[in-house]
Amino acid sequence: MVHYNEGDGLNSSYTYGLNQDENGFIYLGSDTGFFRFDGAEFKQFGSKNGLKNIEILDCFPIPDNEMFIISFLNDFAYLKKGKIINSDRNPELKKIKFTYTTLSHINGNTVYLYEGDNPKNILVYKNEKITTIPIFIHQNASDNYFTFGLNMANGNLYISDRYKKKNLEVYNVFTRKKTVCNISIEKNTMVTRKGDFFILKNGRKIDIYRVYHQFHFKKIASYTAPENIHRLAIDKNSRIWACLENGGVLYFKNPFMETEGLSNPIRLMDGYIIHDVLTDKDNNLWFSTRNNGLFFISDLFFRNYIHFPVKNNSSHITAIAKNGNRIYLGYNEAKGGIYHNGVITDLHLGENSQMENKAILSDGNTIIFGLSRNPVRYNTVTGEKQVLKENVIKNMVPYTSGSALFCTLEGLIAYNHHKGSYEKLMMGNRIYTALPYTQDSIFAGTFKDLYKLNTATKKKRLFLEGYYFTDIKKLSDNLYAGATNLNGIILFNNSRVIKKIMESDGLPTRQIKKIEIENEKVFWASTNYGLSRIEFKDKKLKINNFTHTDGLPSNVVAGCIISGDTVYAGTSKGMGILSIKNLLSQQKSVHKKVIINSVKIGNNLFYDPGQPLEGKTPDNSLTFNVSFPDFASQGQISYQYKVEGLSEDWQTGSSPNITFNSIPPGDYTFKVFGLGYNGRKSYVSTDLHFEIKPAFWQTWWFKLLLVFIGAAALSMLITFYFQKKRNKKLETLYYEKKIAELELQAIKAQINPHFIYNCLNSIHFLLYKKDYYEAENYLNTFSVMIRKTLHYSEKTFMPIKEEAEYLSLYLNMEKLRLKDLFDYKITVSENVNESWTVPSLLIQPFVENAIKHGIANLQDRKGNIEVLFQYTGTALCVIVEDNGVGIGKKLHSNANSFGVKLSEKRIETFRQLFDTNIILEITDLQEKEKRPGTQITLYITPYENQNTGIHH
């Protein structure tokens, strides 16, 4: 039995009516409002929640998943979607004003309310509206009636005289006529109607009638209680609960409509004034009380201890043993008990009531109760009791036939109960348990070690160090199970530890009190946290844990006895008798679903999970408030949950508030399972769909716009970067070209004096020879040459045609100077456009060099110079070839060829200024073609002038 009070969140001790809604929640009226209980938490509804009257007598479910709230006399309200609707929010409720206890009747989706004493109207609540049906049951002012049993299917309202013995009457609200029935009702009789049955309560007496044809009553049962009954409660199984005025309740386990009549009731809850009794959907029991809060009894517990009652079964049991078909019990006082055929017979064992039973030993007709100081020997045949020699008993175990081992404060002692003799086996150590394992060998456990004791030599040998054994039992040949105080269960043989069974394996605790063997594969362990059944199956360990929830009177179990399919457990609140088959066949899942009470999205709270749930960034954090009303789990509730679309991993937690923070936009489904006692799972998940809508900056179009803006910005940055880089480069090129142009002008300035110098030398030479005629011709040609040189030196480029004419003029002048020492030829190929331009004065220095260093000093042959302009398809090719002495013989004079040096520098300048690629090749024809001479080749890549179309 579980007692709920202020410590559990039930902030009221004075409780009234009990009800359960379709979701399974328990509703409880009280003097401080009403409470909703989900098995783990009491949620209180009071004045802060909207109640104008906190004296709530009852709450009952009505259609549309609402709860109607019956307060004392007035200020009625109802609960809808988690919110209290009072008369301020719905003025219709102001029409409800009563001066006596309110009764109700539900027919379909309509609630009928009326007073239980002298009603004048029936108030009809439907669709949140109140209408009135007037009734006229009084013939004169002195009439005083109790009313009950309204049935709107036929319009009958039953009335009885409050102060007189008088026949029961039926008032029809449609015809407004009264009909007298065939039964007489004593004054102050309270009547409860259940279908066609009427249960009458007056003082100590209960009468049950059945009605036929609306007005004819027939008594089917009666019962007189030992004291006055202040209230009758009829549960969903048609069983009567009679709440007694002086405390306690009488339970009639047979349905009241059975023809055999009422069974003898079982008395429960003595000492508590019971206001109401509820049997919930799972047949668990709830009791509201006056000044003692709320009590709960699970269905399993109730069936085990009510349907199969054991008298005098509430004492604290500290030891248990079996002898034949009887169970012997030892208590935490100098008293024992014998259980047989459903009855426990007490045994008085000594005057000192403070001596508790440490163990019980059974051997034939002898039972030894191991009181902590004076063991008592009991003869099951004669009933004789004998107090044995004083020993501080810690434990007792069987030894040889007719003897036992006493584990005492002083050591290990063998007691022969046939002879009444004692033998000291191992002294000087406090012994807590022992087990004979061969004819002359015993395991003996001290406070911290396990020894092997040879009973013949009385010598001990340390076997297992560091283990405080409280009990040892033999499982099979050379295999033992030991209960320890701190190390769980130890499986060992004669030589070593085989396995430790701990909490990680499934035990509820590592502190084990006793071991009981079911068979060589199965044994039971008794603990302060219930019973554990340990089974070795297919080389695997299987552990089932059983507690108060499974029917144990208490979780504090001193020991147990296995007899067939029944386990007898000695607990701190009496002996438990349970079916092993029923314990093992309990369902692994719970036929319940998790209830989602509310959903908080950002700062908005939603009580109706059925409506579309939407959030929007930044309000994208969700909190689900959930409940799993599995009351049999007694608060041991947790939840397994995930959000599909967010994560596929299941999470587990015990908090009823499940929060997810900063959920990104999308469609999601919240899934949650309830986990109850022993991990039992709800049979199906509760699913709830919700959507997080994106803020404008999370929408696709905004992201696309950002991408576009980003791309545009990046493009602008890149453009700006490269433009800046290009501008810098252009600026650099500008200054480089400026410098190159200045250099070009300087080079031209150098070429002109050089050329003039050479011409003047020639003229000077002719005058020196007094060849005045040739000197005059040369001066004429020179004057033309000078004009053209000055003209072309001002230009960057000149057409090929003009270049050829200029070269011809120069060669004529040189030929004149050298007296026809050489011949020349200038050829422009047909594939060369004569309007194409080339760098001005670029070729003349190479022609000059061919004359000066190639043929000027020839003695054996006449010189020949050829200049060829041809187009290769990709470049303009200019060839200057002579048949002179060759490059090999004139290398020493290259350093003095000032014109060639200037031409090479001009080539480099043209490259910088005009991106014109000019390649210079010098070939020694003697080396390459075995003929005298030198060949100069210039490759000029055409440069297209975008404005003129002229190739340069």
Residue 357 DSSP label = E
User: What is residue 908's predicted lDDT score, i.e. its pLDDT?
Assistant: 79
Residues 539-558, buried b or exposed e (16+ Cβ, 10 A)? Answer: eeeeebbbbbbbbbbbbbbb
Lowest mean pLDDT among 522-531, 696-705, 730-739: 730-739
Extended beta strands in 46-189, E state: 56-62, 66-71, 77-80, 83-85, 102-107, 110-115, 121-126, 129-134, 145-151, 156-161, 166-172, 178-185
Q: Which band of pLDDT confidence, cut at 50, 70 and 90, is reported for residue 329?
A: very high
What span, in angstroms and rounded, lies between the C-alpha atoms of 798 and 940?
14
Asked if 269 and 287 touch (Cβ cutoff 8 Å), the reply is: yes
Lowest mean pLDDT among 18-32, 383-397, 844-858: 844-858
Higher pLDDT, 775 or 686: 686
Encoded tokens for 938: 């210039």
Work out the angle between the directed axes of helices 772-793 and 700-768 (0-180°, nearest 10).
170
List C-alpha distances in Å: 569 to 247, 303, 340, 345.
30, 16, 15, 17
What span, in angstroms and rounded, lies between the C-alpha atoms of 668 and 7?
39
Q: CB under 8 Å to 754, separation ≥6 — which residues?
A: 898, 899, 902
User: What is residue 738's predicted lDDT score, i.e. its pLDDT?
Assistant: 60
Share of the chain above pLDDT 90, in %: 58
Tell me the per-residue pLDDT of 620-652, one tens digit each, with 9 for 90 and over: 889 999 999 999 888 889 999 999 999 899 999
Q: Which band of pLDDT confidence, cut at 50, 70 and 90, is reported for residue 616?
A: confident
Asked if 120 and 98 touch (Cβ cutoff 8 Å), the reply is: no
Compute the average pLDDT of residues 283-311.
Answer: 83
What residue type is assigned to position 740 of the chain?
A: A
Tell me the per-residue pLDDT of 590-614, one tens digit each, with 9 for 90 and over: 888 999 999 998 888 888 777 788 8
The overall average pLDDT reported for the chain is: 88
Compute the average pLDDT of residues 577-586.
Answer: 88
User: What is residue 951's predicted lDDT score, i.e. its pLDDT?
Assistant: 46
Lowest mean pLDDT among 88-92, 101-105, 617-621, 745-749: 745-749
Higher pLDDT, 857 or 403: 403
Instruction: Judge whether residue 120 has pLDDT over 70.
Output: yes
Lowest mean pLDDT among 57-71, 279-293, 518-532, 757-771: 757-771
Asked if 356 and 375 touch (Cβ cutoff 8 Å), the reply is: no
Most confident of 305-319, 564-578, 933-947: 564-578
User: What is residue 802's predicted lDDT score, i.e. its pLDDT?
Assistant: 92
Q: Which band of pLDDT confidence, cut at 50, 70 and 90, is reported for residue 945?
A: very low
User: What is residue 892's predicted lDDT score, i.e. its pLDDT?
Assistant: 41
Instruction: Judge whether residue 495 has pLDDT over 50.
Output: yes
Share of the chain above pLDDT 70, in %: 93
Higher pLDDT, 31 or 613: 31
Q: Which band of pLDDT confidence, cut at 50, 70 and 90, is reported for residue 548?
A: confident
Lowest mean pLDDT among 557-566, 615-624, 943-952: 943-952
What span, in angstroms and rounded, lies between the C-alpha atoms of 514 and 489?
10
Lowest mean pLDDT among 156-170, 247-261, 696-710: 696-710
Task: Give the CA angle between residues 161, 162, 163 to the nearest 5°.
Answer: 100
Burial (CB count within 10 angstroms: exposed 0-12, middle 13-18, buried 19+), residue 604 = exposed
What residue type is assigned to position 514 of the chain?
A: K
Tell me the per-residue pLDDT of 826-860, one tens digit each, with 9 for 90 and over: 999 999 999 999 888 889 888 988 888 888 888 88
Q: Which band of pLDDT confidence, cut at 50, 70 and 90, is reported for residue 947?
A: very low
Q: CB under 8 Å to 431, separation ≥6 — which residues?
A: 394, 395, 407, 408, 411, 412, 444, 445, 446
Compute the average pLDDT of residues 649-664.
Answer: 92
Asked if 551 and 545 touch (Cβ cutoff 8 Å), the reply is: no
Tell me the per-residue pLDDT of 178-208, one tens digit each, with 9 for 90 and over: 999 999 999 889 999 999 999 999 999 999 9
Instruction: Judge whether residue 894 has pLDDT over 70.
Output: no
Q: CB under 8 Å to 463, separation ≥6 — which residues?
A: 443, 449, 450, 451, 452
Encoded tokens for 708: 């576009």
